[in-house]
Structure 1
Amino acid sequence: MCGISGLFDLRGKRAFSPALMSAINDIQAHRGPDEADLHLEPGLAMGHRRLSVIDLATGIQPQFNEDGSVVIVFNGEIYNYRELTTELKALGHVFKTRSDTEVIVHAWEAWGEDCLHRLRGMFAFGLWDRNQQVLFLARDRMGVKPMHYALLPDGSFVFGSELKVITAHPAFARKIDPLAVEEYFAVGYVADPRCIYEGAFKLPPGHKLLLRRGMERIPAPQAYWDVRFTLDNPISLQDAQAELLQRIDESVRLRLVSDVPLGAFLSGGVDSSAVVASMAQVDGSRIKTCAIGFDDPRFNESQFAQMVADRYRTDHSLDIVGSDDFDLIDTLAWLYDEPFADSSAVPTYRVCQMARKHVTVALSGDGGDESFGGYRRYRLHLAEEKARRALPLGLRRPVFGALGKIYPKADWAPRVLRAKTTFQALAFDSAQAYLHSVSVLRADERERLYSAGFKRQLGGYSALDMFRTHAERAGTDDPLALVQYLDYKTWLVGDINTKVDRAGMAHSLEVREPLMDHQLIEWLATLPSALKIQGQEGKYLLKKAFEPRLPADVLYRPKMGFSVPLASWLRGPLAERTREALLGPRMADAGYFDPDQLRSMVRQHQSGQRDFSAPLWTLLMFEAFLRQQERPPMAEQAAAIGVAA
């Protein structure tokens, strides 16, 4: 696991400053504290920060082919690299290392861009082929590993693992993209391919980008993979259970290859417990497991993690996090580079911090909710879809739209009486309804929050445009498959994978996700949706398959989630900071918000009249991002370099 960076001159072959390249590479030293190296040649500079995991002795990057004409910087793991090594050696390729990085170099020589179809793993890499004069970037199918890029005014192309590589370049103008702000306040993160700054982009999952010297502009990235929900597998429940166990065991086995200590996160939820159970099935050695608990019992599920740890006799470590652990706001703002509102980033940071004391590689259960149908919002969406399909949109929109407007927002009431959101959702089409259900601030709430000037900047753009674009590409009208596809393209990559990658890399911890193996995802997409959700039971197939391996109390208890007591934080120990941050000059000068609405939200939440915890946290993290933006991201390094490009 590593950090990569690079500069490429599209117009010519200027010499890049080694000091500049070293500085922008080292700004992500947390991703790779073990080694650092650069490769420079006319018109090209590539940098690498290494966290040594496989081939500790000879795996340093950048790496080259036999004659040095192909060079790569790579972040991730190729889990089938041993099989590919054997195949490539049979084709005549000579290997100098035992690393999975070198496999990509020779795979490029053998198969060109089609090498991506041969790779099984999590990856983001930049590869330079001097003979062809091309720079090739690629990102793994599920977007586990990140890749950012931008074209600078002087024709230089810059790329890197984290956005801070781009913003650290003195020639990059950090101008906030208003469309990215709209997306952030809709879903709590800036969705791929957009970045918070104009002119910077994320390479989308399952995409590649080929640059050739002499190009006038950056071409659009090309998709090399996408998931297709056929739902046409006639397999029986019993056979599906057996095959699922086999596939998860295989995915876990592939991810156990490591030359450094390896373990697993164990939250006590179904997904991480299933991964640990599979690890015990395929590996006879004692497993290291790591968990955090909370001193607030409403958020603590450590007893369920202990059940699994006891069953499999793992070497289990538990840390208890205080319910007042809110001092990471500024740390997270720096770490994520752009506003990021998922409050579970706090415990995720802590569990990675704790795990790194024991292991260098940790397996996680991330991706299980999206692939197996675990979210409560999926079941609510299916119920709403039945009503939407029973009545035409022309009738639903005026009737339920009117009810949604007049029905009060009753946060204080029992859940059965909180019908406003449901009425609003019934007036929408499927994509709009799903965005409505996952939004931090819904469309009508954003309308009240934004200033008149910011609305003009948006020019009518809405985060709904992004959701509808993905929905059009989903290739399915199955209600569950559609929202799973939307989550793969938005929530999973923009929130979950971003959160885990940055939190893990902050502590130089590699996190591997066996439930996001692309072959497993492809197979699950062939299964009927009824195998994923039956009635009110989410993850039906996963739970049935793991009944012989996990306690019923772990499999069938209510989902708790990895959350923190936001509402009480914002009314208690964070109340003063919330008032100062949201009602202070920084947010006012930004010009995005209606100050009266900000005051109203803070007042109503802190008085207990309404629960605005999620929107207020989202605003608080945005203010923290603005504060970070005021500081040059690489002030000391830039001063030492003394160059403008």
Structure 2
Amino acid sequence: MLCAIQCAAVAAAHWWQASVAVLVLAPGSKRASVRLLWPRGLDPLCGFTGFVHDDPHREVDAGELTRMTRTLVHRGPDDEGFFRKRGVGLGFRRLSIIDPVHGHQPLVLPEGDFVLVGNGEIYNYRELAAELKGEGCCFETGSDMEVVLHLFAKMGSACFERLEGMFALCIVDMRDPLVPRVTLARDRLGIKPLFWARHRDRLWFASEPKALLASDQFPRALRGAALVEYLMRGFVGGPKSAWAGIERLEPGYFLEWSRRDAPQLKSWWTAPLNGPSPPAQEGEVLEYLDRAVSQRLVSDVPLGGFLSGGVDSAGVADAMGRAGGKPPELCTISFREGEFDEAELARISANRMGAQHHVAIQEPDPEAVVDHLPWHFDEPHADPSNLPTWMVCRMAREHVTVALSGDGGDEVFGGYRRYIHEAMEQRLRRRLGPLGVLAGCAGKLHPSLESPPAWLRGKTFLTHLGMSPARAAWDSAINASLPAALSLLNPRLGEELAQADPYASWAGHYNQPAASGPLYRTQFADLRTTLAEQLLVKVDRASMAVGLEVRVPFLDHRMVERFAPLPLEEKIKGGVGKLALRRALEARLDARVIAGVKRGFDIPVCAWLRGPLASHLTEHLAGLPPDWFDLGRVQTLVKEHLEGHRDHGLVLWTLLVFEAWRRRHDCEEIAL
């Protein structure tokens, strides 16, 4: 009898065309449970894609779905899975981290009512599983995503608030045989990516746009407004991706869609920056940090961390050693150019912890700049730290499968130099009142003053006093003004895009009522844009390129909710940022690390473009589309830079990365 049931269940699996699950009835049991056709496992680091036809009778093209899914093989080199049923097609790639012999996707509940593909990791899944088991729920895999699927079946979209971790999810409610209901969801801070589109009678979704483009159903057209934003900021943010017709699900949002309704976007979490929180109590920062790190150490594969010369990564590494009971394995990138090198401070921290410390020297890597990275960053992304981030991930992958990083510390505790400058401006505005406008005029008229006090030095600082706080914060966050960006374009295209100023979108976040006070508003805008669409994109794509999972303890939502709203005096004082974090770590880290000045993770762009990357610069920029760019203007910039007359390093790097990206993704059109 049992054999007959199993055979019938296998046949049912073929009928579902899912190749993932069968129903098993144990001897003496009246209850069926889900059983995978292959071994089970947790799916923390993966990629997925798929679509749902408007017509439930439309057959899913297996070749198309496979082609889309295999563009994500770098996100999940260990395994793949598919689901095809009633016009619903799901594809999945997997890298095993916990319980590696288990847990494939797509996951299907026993009754076939709900199907899930997901990317990420839910750190509190064991607690949630215990709660569900107490209510009679049965689990057959060790997968956190099976817990999510059961929780969603019970609670619907309200379940997202119960999840602690990083994730992007697609769940299909198949209870109505003709009208499946699709829910897409992204974690609070946007650690894991998710794109979607409503195009040609289908709802589409994917971890990366390249999967959608592989369907050959989308034009390879760049949005004109995205080009302007890229030239100004070095990346493209907001709900629209760089590609025409492809949307980005924003952090803390979910999308609901059925064949009867248009897609509905809903926010399920937002950063609580609506006023100063109580000052941090003694030991409180360390308590939160230790808990966040400990929660992220669960792994059945080798685990380590990144280490720079700063307090963020050193604080995480120290907490790793304390929670794990042994010194962590750490990786550092070093530069021959001393002003960019933090290796010595990293060695000080590593030696203090007794860590196994791996150091590699970052050399110019033309192939990575013009080929490897443009493929993985399937939107243009000119952050110079992409290269060393990719290299430290590659180095780490030689030793570990999971790495913890210090990313997010600056956004949460207030560490960026522009935050420090903004705090100074904020205090000065209060002192000067209407006289601040006059100071702003002075900044426009004079490059500098003869002997101003230290806090009033520099044309930019003075000019900001004549701007609104929002405009001043925006000016500090961009690489180039709108006129400067438009000057690089073909005059005809520049005229058509003259109104494509990304400031309005950014200001929409800055002016959110959830944020109170200029610096809190800047932090809120950064959490929604710069963090989610620049920094976390960089870390996700660079780590996925080499099959490494990166976890970010500072972006534990409890840390963000507690410490991002700290009073200004707890963040910045006397030109020093991250005060609360520095004070908390004084007893754990070397004083030289505590007192260190933030350097960032940059590379010597200017020197490299004049040296080992010069030939690639001239060749690629000569190939920029003349209908898009003012090639005469561009060549003037190249000549001035290579001859050493002017430093145009950042703008030339931005153009080099763009052209390498455009070629790698066969982008030949602009959509206005």
| TM-score in terms of structure 1 length | 0.91
Aligned ranges 1:549-568 → 2 under 5 Å: 549-568=588-607
Give the superposed CA RMSD. 2.2
Could you tell me how far 1:300 is from its partner in structure 2? 1.6
Q: Which residue of 1 aligns with 2:213?
A: 167
Could you tell me how far 1:577 is from its partner in structure 2? 2.6
List per-residue Cα deviations over 1:374-432 (Å, max 9, x = no partner).
11111112222344455678x8668736853x55699xxxx999834334433321222
The amino acid of 1:453's aligned partner reads R
Q: Does 1:267 align with 2:267?
A: no
Q: Which residue of 1 aligns with 2:609?
A: 570
Q: Which residue of 1 aligns with 2:556?
A: 517
List per-residue Cα deviations over 1:462-483 (Å, max 9, x = no partner).
0111111111215334232121
In terms of mean alpha carbon deviation, does 607-616 or 166-175 score higher? 607-616
Q: Which residue of 2 aligns with 1:355?
A: 396
Larger radius of gyration: 2
Counterpart pick for 2:635 among 595, 599, 602: 599
Tell me the SS of whatever aligns to 2:509: helix
List per-residue Cα deviations over 1:15-38 (Å, max 9, x = no partner).
111111111001110100111110
Aligned ranges 1:421-440 → 2 under 5 Å: 421-440=460-479
Q: Does 1:183 align with 2:229?
A: yes
Aligned ranges 1:294-373 → 2 under 5 Å: 294-322=335-363, 324-329=364-369, 330-373=371-414
Counterpart pick for 1:543 among 582, 588, 591: 582
List per-residue Cα deviations over 1:106-157 (Å, max 9, x = no partner).
110111110001000000010111015201100000000000111222x112
Aligned ranges 1:155-554 → 2 under 5 Å: 155-215=201-261, 217-219=262-264, 221-235=265-279, 239=281, 241-322=282-363, 324-329=364-369, 330-389=371-430, 400=440, 403-404=443-444, 407=446, 419-458=458-497, 460-554=499-593
**Is the CA contact 1:33–1:50 (under 8 Å) kept in the aligned structure 2?**
yes
Tell me the SS of whatever aligns to 1:466: helix
Q: Does 1:88 align with 2:124?
A: no
- CA, structure 1 residues 279+23, in 2 after alignment: closer, same or farther (shift >3 Å)? same
Q: Does 1:37 align with 2:76?
A: no
CA distance in 1, matches of 2:614, 2:465: 36
Could you tell me how far 1:183 is from its partner in structure 2? 1.3
In terms of mean alpha carbon deviation, does 435-444 or 250-259 score higher? 435-444
**Is the CA contact 2:456–2:462 (under 8 Å) kept in the aligned structure 1?**
no
The amino acid of 2:187's aligned partner reads D
Could you tell me how far 1:575 is from its partner in structure 2? 2.5
List per-residue Cα deviations over 1:298-351 (Å, max 9, x = no partner).
2221122222221221222222222x3343112111110111100100000000
Q: Which residue of 2 aligns with 1:642?
A: none
Counterpart pick for 2:186 among 122, 139, 146: 139
The amino acid of 1:191's aligned partner reads G
Could you tell me how far 1:95 is from its partner in structure 2? 0.6
CA distance in 1, matches of 2:468, 2:565: 25
Which consecutive residues of structure 1, in runs of 5 or more, have no partner in the other structure?
633-645
Could you tell me how far 1:57 is from its partner in structure 2? 2.3
The sequence identity of aligned pairs, in percent, is 38
In terms of mean alpha carbon deviation, does 303-312 or 539-548 score higher? 303-312
The amino acid of 1:327's aligned partner reads E
Could you tell me how far 1:69 is from its partner in structure 2? 1.6
Q: Which residue of 2 aligns with 1:52?
A: 96
CA distance in 2, matches of 1:349, 1:458: 33
List per-residue Cα deviations over 1:478-497 (Å, max 9, x = no partner).
23212111110111011110
- CA, structure 1 residues 306+165, in 2 after alignment: closer, same or farther (shift >3 Å)? same
List per-residue Cα deviations over 1:34-60 (Å, max 9, x = no partner).
111101101101111000012322211
Q: Does 1:149 align with 2:196?
A: yes
Which consecutive residues of structure 2, in runs of 5 or more, have no partner in the other structure?
1-44
Tell me the SS of whatever aligns to 1:257: coil
| TM-score in terms of structure 2 length | 0.88
- CA, structure 1 residues 197+631, in 2 after alignment: closer, same or farther (shift >3 Å)? closer
CA distance in 1, matches of 2:205, 2:545: 19
List per-residue Cα deviations over 1:358-381 (Å, max 9, x = no partner).
111111100001111111111112
**Is the CA contact 1:11–1:214 (under 8 Å) kept in the aligned structure 2?**
no
CA distance in 1, matches of 2:638, 2:436: 34
Q: Which residue of 1 aligns with 2:654?
A: 618
CA distance in 1, matches of 2:57, 2:479: 47
**Is the CA contact 1:474–1:485 (under 8 Å) kept in the aligned structure 2?**
no
- CA, structure 1 residues 602+575, in 2 after alignment: closer, same or farther (shift >3 Å)? same
Q: Does 1:609 align with 2:654?
A: no
The amino acid of 1:293's aligned partner reads S
Could you tell me how far 1:256 is from its partner in structure 2? 0.7
